[in-house]
Amino acid sequence: MNMNGDVALNGTVPSYPQYLEAAAATQRVDGVKNVHNHLEVVLPPGDYRDDAMLTTAANNALTLNVTVPDGIEATARDGNLTLTGTAKFGAQRAAAELAVGALTGVRNIRNDVEIAYDADPVDVLVQDALDRWALIPDDSDVKAITHGNIVTLTGHVRTWAEHDAVIGAAWMASGVNDVDDVLTITG
């Protein structure tokens, strides 16, 4: 870690869940503000699945997950999954990634699922969602600026937990198509 709280993770891990957990564990370290995850997933020989097998397993997992809407599909290429389709809410988009993230043979996930909710931008109640769901102090300078159905989050949070709570709360607001994260973690 350098003096600015930046941490770079380098090396290899044997699974995608371990790739994610390494970054999450690093974020929990006091003083860490930014994590640059350069880890590479190198699967053990017994965990490799060819593209057809992994694509089938991923699409089965998506179909069986009741939170994932119909029409979300996965394709695999050398252990890298790409998710496509349309969801109404950010939580559904995240659920698709969670549904396939722990499958044997996954090296990485690219989530290209689009949010397509036909809401009037006036109905985007982001500040209300932040007040209700984000675990930030009352004197916080966190602001949600909406432009159409896109939310830009600015301001300062103390920890990664606060950061993730603010991002999650913004996605919970009805009508949000995208969240632009410009938050600063003060540590």
The domain limits of the chain are 6-41, 45-115, 121-185
Same fold, 45-115 and 121-185: yes
- The CATH class of the 45-115 domain is alpha beta
The answer to pTM > 0.75 is no
Residue position matching structure tokens 């941490």: 7
CATH code: domain 121-185 is 3.30.1340
Question: What is the percent of the chain with per-residue pLDDT over 70, rounded to a whole number?
Answer: 87
86-89 own/partner pairs: CB under 8 Å, 24+ apart: 86/113, 86/114, 86/115, 86/116, 87/113, 87/114, 87/115, 87/116, 88/115, 88/116, 88/117, 89/115, 89/117, 89/171, 89/176
Q: Is 136 or 82 the better-scoring residue by pLDDT?
A: 82
pLDDT of residue 2: 65
d(CA 107, CA 78): 8
> How many separate helices (H) and strands (E) can be counted in the chain?
5, 12
pLDDT tens digits, one per residue of 102-131: 999 999 999 999 887 655 553 456 666 676
Is 60 exceeded by the pLDDT of residue 99? yes
Answer whether 187's CB lies under 8 Å from 33's CB. Answer: yes
